[in-house]
């Protein structure tokens, strides 16, 4: 018996990948007809309009899902616990955070550490400063690669850099993206990543 994902049937756009949304937006920029492009891809024109608005005004929110995350200040505290005590266990970290008045699950702690590249280090290079690739970093870097092939104007490079700078860690295997972005647009952390790549 075939398993059917009713969520995808009822909400087909929610399952659409970011790269597919970008292709639809690019199609709109070529076609210049919102309703025609929306009809072509079987989406509502207001959905397409919302995607374009989010991409232009809040590009980092287009790729980085923050709906189920603690505030950035709390993420920073969770990250710093592991950074300062590399041998810290998840249970001990949970206890320390509770003592600070921060309630967060073990899975939440692990997710934060993973985004910052503090767990699951590469086996062949455990001291590498590059973190593992997460779904979030994959989405962001697919976006960067997509636009770098099509438009490497200064405003586009600034937008790509703004989004890449928000990544907690930079994964292995996307060297060409950092090499194409001028250092003046990169955060200190991304500049260090670029320096490491160049040597």
Res 59 pLDDT > 70: no
pLDDT in tens, 159-197: 888 888 877 777 777 888 888 899 999 988 888 888 888
Beta strands in the chain (DSSP E): none
Q: How much is the pLDDT for 22?
A: 79
- The CA radius of gyration of the chain, in Å to the nearest whole number, is 19
Tokens of 160: 């790509």
Separation CA 38–CA 25 (nearest Å): 10
| 8 A C-beta contact, residue 136 and residue 102 | no
Separation CA 134–CA 43 (nearest Å): 28
* CA distances (Å), origin 45, targets 28, 55, 144: 11, 15, 25
Nearest to 45 by CA among 54, 31, 56, 33: 33
Predicted confidence band of residue 149 (pLDDT cuts 50, 70, 90): confident
User: Which residues is 131 bridged to in the sheet?
Assistant: 171
Separation CA 192–CA 198 (nearest Å): 10
């Amino acid at each position: 018996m075939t398993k059917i994902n009713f969520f995808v049937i009822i909400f087909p756009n929610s399952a659409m990948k970011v790269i597919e949304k970008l292709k639809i937006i690019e199609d709109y920029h070529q076609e210049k007809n919102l309703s025609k492009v929306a009809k072509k891809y079987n989406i509502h024109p207001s959905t397409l309009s919302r995607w374009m608005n989010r991409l232009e005004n809040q590009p980092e929110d287009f790729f980085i899902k923050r709906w189920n995350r603690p505030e950035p200040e709390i993420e920073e505290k969770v990250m710093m616990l592991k950074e300062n005590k590399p041998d810290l266990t998840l249970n001990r970290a949970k206890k320390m955070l509770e003592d600070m008045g921060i309630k967060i699950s073990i899975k939440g702690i692990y997710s934060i550490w993973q985004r910052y590249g503090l767990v699951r280090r590469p086996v062949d290079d455990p001291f590498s400063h590059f973190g593992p690739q997460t779904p979030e970093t994959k989405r962001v870097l697919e976006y960067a690669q997509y636009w770098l092939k099509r438009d490497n104007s200064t405003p586009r490079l600034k937008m790509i850099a703004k989004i890449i700078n928000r990544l907690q860690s930079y994964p292995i295997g996307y060297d060409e993206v950092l090499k194409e972005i001028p250092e003046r647009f990169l955060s200190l952390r991304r500049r260090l990543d670029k320096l490491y790549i160049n040597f």
